[in-house]
Amino acid sequence: MRRSKFILLPVLTLLYIGAATTSCEGGIERYNIDAPDNIQQIADSIAEEKAKIDTGDTVYVTIANSIVGAEDCSTPWNEATSQWFTVPANRLLHIDFINHGSEANNWNNWNLRMADATENKVELFVIRSDAYGWGNVDFALSAMEHNYADLAAKAGIEDIWEYFRSVMDGARVAMEIDHSKTGNVYVTATMYAQNGDILVEKYHQPVSATEDILATLVCDGSWFDIKNAYTVTSKVQALEDFDAVSIAVTGMPQSLEIGQTDFWGKAVATVTFADGSQAVADTADITFSVIPDLNTLGEKTVVLSYSKTKLGNAGATVIGYYKVSVVNNVVSIEVTKMPTLSTYYIFDQLEGTKLRFDTCGIVVTATYADNSTGVISNEALIFDSIPAVVGTPDVKITYVGSTSESSTTCKVNVVKGISEVGKADYSNGWWTTFTRDTALKAGDSVVYKAMLYSKSAENFHSPCVILRNAALAEYAVFRMDHFGWGTSWTDAVVKTSNWNWDFFKPNLTYSLVTITVKNNGDGTANVKYDVVYPNGENHFQYYTNIAVDSADLQTAIVLESSYLVFFE
């Protein structure tokens, strides 16, 4: 903060005037006085107090410690943080600082933690300068924006993170944290690199519209030189509104018996707005303009409309429709195609519990009162849970008709694995649950085969492979989701995969994961994940040319918010 320089001059001027007096002879005599040794400290203190005064809309914040973290970038994650900055509702906090990073990894730069203002400072979210983060139930990486790829392409660098690491050390950061009264916080970090490039990262998330929130900068192999901080009135006084442009329905009944009246069932209506965003419509806001005749057989059309804007105001009307078949009463049901997943693996933590029956691939066919048959959608059926007891239990499947119930069973296998790692309730935090280390001689491989259970909230709720030496010094960590870090996580590592990221998280639980780690014996190692989703899809993640000491290599698996049952 530069304000102290403007305060210091008048103080020194007063001292100079006080040092000159008139002598008895009428001339000017100059002499020294004993100025306090801490004159600079006094001047700076005056300046700081002055800075805290509300000068119009701007309220300056005193910086408790301008240097945060060790200046050799040796501070590990979360061991050095700035002061907590308060961001009141309807105020924007601005922080100016110089970022210094080790350039070893993307995340060895600034990190921002936001929390509520309660005594426990409950974390709202953390965002990293490399466009990554985590947080509470409102956190969404999809709300993150950045221009790094465009700048890397302009610089002729194919790997955007190679570009990012090369320009972040010494970058001046102007960070705005706008706590809008609309109930959202908007973070914009503008980074002025020393080569003239301007990097921008943005993130927003719902927060309390009335209570204060807190912000702090977190070191991770990095350090910061904070120059100043102040608050001004929020820039976001109202959210821009958008009309709905379409509505689509999923999960509706495919068929109904004569006499059944619930043509909506568990359906979900998704509205798309003019800005491209989507939201699930409240059924109370849906109008059914055409209700089908459910007392006659045949295919019927349901027509619905929605007339609200993104912010819930009255707006343009959009029309949607779907079809449903009215059929005779169901007499019986049977499984005519087994589910894709028929074997479930359990271990000690799961024994005696209940497992969710996975319906992927199953086909249940109904016989109607007129002896005709037809497939019943899974949404119209009730599937019991699987008792987690070793054996071949029958899972009950029920259809509730208009006049009676019909049921059948599906047999599955429940097999006890050979070991487990993680927590079956997904309570294991990062770096808390590991397999034992397995040493790998040159030319040797180790293969792990397991069923994965996952919280499925993030891609990294899945296995990670650690490569390290006997002294536990890491070469690198290789995640299942095409990511990693460490001294051996370099551009030389070849990373290939065929993930469909839209289906990665939803299909983690019950995936069969085969992990192969090989010591090539030539100073490199390979890590491969072969994954079979519960729907039968096959995917892989492969890392090759990993630099290691082939004479001193061992491996282990670590999990976060997930659990593995090994069966081989």
User: Measured between alpha carbons, how far is 280 from 294 in angstroms, rounded to an integer?
Assistant: 26
What is the structure's pLDDT at 38? 55
Amino acid at site 566: F
Residue 40 pLDDT? 56
Could you give the 3-state DSSP secondary structure of residue 25? Answer: coil
Domains of the chain: 3-45 (no CATH), 54-233 (2.60.120), 244-327 (2.60.40.10), 330-416 (2.60.40.3630), 420-566 (2.60.120)
3-state class of 499 per DSSP?
coil
The burial of 550, by beta-carbon neighbours within 10 Å (0-12 exposed, 13-18 middle, 19 or more buried), is given as middle
Burial classification of residue 21, based on how many CB atoms lie within 10 Å of its CB (0-12 exposed, 13-18 middle, 19 or more buried): exposed
Maximum C-alpha span of the chain: 131
Residue with tokens 């989703």: 533
88-91 CB contacts, 8 Å cutoff, 24+ apart: 88/179, 88/212, 88/231, 89/179, 89/181, 89/208, 89/209, 89/210, 89/211, 89/212, 90/179, 90/180, 90/181, 90/233, 90/234, 91/179, 91/231, 91/232, 91/233, 91/234
Q: Which helix (H) or strand (E) holds 300?
A: strand 298-308
- What is the pLDDT, as a whole number, of residue 158? 86
φ, ψ for residue 501, nearest 5 deg: -65, -20
Contact 174, 192 (CB under 8 A): yes
Give the pLDDT confidence score for residue 10 in this predicted structure.
Answer: 35
- Cα–Cα separations (whole angstroms), residue 541 to 126, 434, 481, 526: 27, 20, 7, 11
Number of H helices, E strands in the chain: 5, 45
Q: Say which residues have a Cβ less than 8 Å from residue 28's Cβ, sequence separation at least 6.
A: 20, 22
Concatenating the DSSP letter of every residue in 509-555 gives TTEEEEEEEEE-SSSEEEEEEEEE-TTS-EEEEEEEEEE--TTS-EE
Contacts of 9 (CB under 8 A, 6+ apart): none
What is the residue whose two structure tokens read 């999990």?
559
What is the structure's pLDDT at 239?
Answer: 76
Among 446, 480, 453, 425, residue whose Cα is nearest residue 568? 446
Q: How far apart are CA 328 and CA 367, in angstroms?
A: 9
Interatomic CA distance for residues 156 and 150, integer angstroms: 10
pLDDT tens for the 568 residues of the chain, in order: 333 333 333 333 333 333 333 333 333 333 344 445 555 555 555 455 544 444 458 999 999 999 999 999 999 999 999 999 999 999 999 999 999 999 999 999 999 999 999 999 999 999 999 999 999 989 988 899 999 999 999 999 988 999 999 999 999 999 999 999 989 999 999 999 999 999 999 999 999 999 999 999 999 999 999 999 999 999 988 878 899 999 999 999 999 999 899 999 999 999 999 999 899 999 999 999 898 899 999 999 999 999 999 988 999 999 999 999 999 999 999 999 999 999 999 999 999 999 999 999 999 999 999 999 999 999 899 999 999 999 999 999 999 998 889 999 999 999 999 999 999 999 998 899 999 999 999 999 999 999 999 999 889 999 999 999 999 999 999 999 999 999 999 989 999 999 998 899 999 999 999 999 999 999 999 999 999 999 999 999 999 999 999 999 999 999 999 999 999 9
- What size, in residues, is the chain? 568
Q: What pLDDT shows up at residue 57?
A: 87
The alpha helices in 209-279, defined as continuous H runs, are none
Among 234, 217, 173, which Cα is nearest to 64's? 217
pLDDT confidence of residue 259:
86
What's the pLDDT at 319?
97
Q: Hey, which residues does 565 pair with through a beta bridge?
A: 420, 451
The Cα–Cα gap between 469 and 489 comes to 15
Quote the pLDDT of residue 8. 33
- How far apart (Å, rounded) are the C-alpha atoms in residues 154 and 150? 6
The pair of three-digit structure tokens given for residue 225, joined into one six-digit string: 């030189």
Answer whether 0.75 is exceeded by the pTM.
no
